Amino acid sequence: MGKTTYKRYKGSQSFRQRLLLSTLSSTPIIMDEIRADDMIPGLLRHEMSLLRLFETVSDDCVVEVNETGTRLKYKPGIIMGGKNLVHSCALTRSMGYYLEPMLLLGLFGKKPLSIRLKGVTDDHKDLSVDTICNATLHILKRFGVPSEGLDLKIEARGVAPEGGGEVLLTVPNVQNLTAVQWVEEGMVKKIRGWTFSARVSSDFEHSMRFAARGIFNNLLPDVHIFNDHKSGPAAGKSPGYGISLVAETTAGCYISADTAVSCGRAEETGELDVERQERKPAEDTGVEIASWLLQEIEKGGVVDSTHQGLLFILCALCQQDVSKVRVGPLSPYGVETLRNLKEFLGVTFSFRPDPSTGTVILTCVGSGLINLSRKLS
């Protein structure tokens, strides 16, 4: 065996994406000076939890972290997949943080992936589990991922700080992804929404639905918002409520917006004084997310700004053919993704701004990643 050469990075920037791309491209990495100057140095709890999750779904991967957690050495193994896997996520981030990389890793595994995640299902930072069910999975199907075996079941809700939620993710294997020509946005034909409340009155949901529909009903007739009131063990351990809205267009694009509000008492939520804000009425949350969805639609593009990173990664992993996609103004996360893709997969995108709509058309040739570990029947 020859000597392993590592890619070196400084700092904790785009930690999750570097781990994901390192695993997919089988590139060992070393990260130095992770929050070295912070009061609490080193990897955070959710980052350690993500490393454990990567270890769970792959075989023979080597993770070495120094005592202070400021240096990480990661050598990816073979993505195994497998069923009946269970992982308890750190409660500092919601499941959206863990599910996004799992969707991509599962596709290139040896066996189909079936994993049960426990923890916080919804918060205001990451994608909510409803959005992943109703928007993210549809984006994957565009790239030739079969719809049977691709599923996310929400078995229990869990809001910060205590969590207690549970979801079951199943992902099929693919040989490779098909390149896409996806520039048509179409017009919005329907809006679907999902509200939930756990350990609080279902009136919160009614207020959010009423407020959101008040905005949409002036614009289109086909608006339906489903409710999901949980009590007992399925409601998790903390009180809270949330909403996820998805607009579907005539060209089969899904644009989403979501948030969740934790009703835990201030001393429980462990928020710093800076982060703590006056809790808004539920109507305001409904209005805010409905307006945010309309802003995302106005920006244009075939996905919303939160899904740009995922879209670019999917394009870069495709067979060696030209993919062409249209997105709205590039989000900072999208730009970061483009840089990482160039470093790990050697894929560069060419840009063509479209001044008439304020969108950007991106073109790239896929890296032609093939799932070599999959058993051929």
Q: For 234-243, what is each residue's pLDDT tens digit?
A: 999 999 999 9
Encode burial over 246-261: b for 16+ CB neighbours within 10 A, e otherwise.
Answer: bbbbeeebbbbbbbbb
In this prediction, residue 98 has a pLDDT band, given cuts at 50, 70 and 90, of very high
Averaged over 276-300, what is the pLDDT?
91
Eight-state DSSP code of residue 135:
I
Distance CA 72, CA 36 (A): 12
Say what the pTM is. 0.95
Q: What's the pLDDT at 134?
A: 97
Q: What's the pLDDT at 275?
A: 47
More confident residue, 291 or 272: 291
Q: What's the pLDDT at 104?
A: 96
Q: Return the minimum-mean-pLDDT range out of 68-72, 89-93, 272-276, 373-377.
A: 272-276
Averaged over 320-349, what is the pLDDT?
97
- Residue bearing tokens 């809270």: 240
In this prediction, residue 266 has a pLDDT band, given cuts at 50, 70 and 90, of low
Q: For 99-153, what is each residue's pLDDT tens digit?
A: 999 999 999 999 999 999 999 999 999 999 999 999 999 999 999 999 999 999 9
Distance CA 272, CA 280 (A): 18
The answer, yes or no, to whether residue 251 has pLDDT greater than 50, is yes
Q: What is the mean pLDDT of the chain?
A: 93
In this prediction, residue 270 has a pLDDT band, given cuts at 50, 70 and 90, of low
Q: How many helices (H) and strands (E) does the chain have?
A: 10, 18
Averaged over 254-283, what is the pLDDT?
74
2 by Cβ neighbours in 10 Å (0-12 / 13-18 / 19+) ranks as exposed
Q: Which has the closest alpha carbon to 259: 237, 279, 232, 230?
A: 279
Averaged over 321-329, what is the pLDDT?
97
In this prediction, residue 1 has a pLDDT band, given cuts at 50, 70 and 90, of low
Q: What's the pLDDT at 6?
A: 94
Distance CA 279, CA 317 (A): 42
The answer, yes or no, to whether residue 178 has pLDDT greater than 90, is yes
The answer, yes or no, to whether residue 291 has pLDDT greater than 90, is yes
The answer, yes or no, to whether residue 277 has pLDDT greater than 90, is no
Q: For 15-71, what is each residue's pLDDT tens digit?
A: 999 999 999 999 999 999 999 999 999 999 999 999 999 999 999 999 999 999 999
The CA distances from residue 332 to 104, 146, 363, 369, in Å, are 21, 31, 19, 26
In this prediction, residue 264 has a pLDDT band, given cuts at 50, 70 and 90, of confident
Per-state percent for the chain, helix, strand, coil, to nearest 5: 30, 30, 40
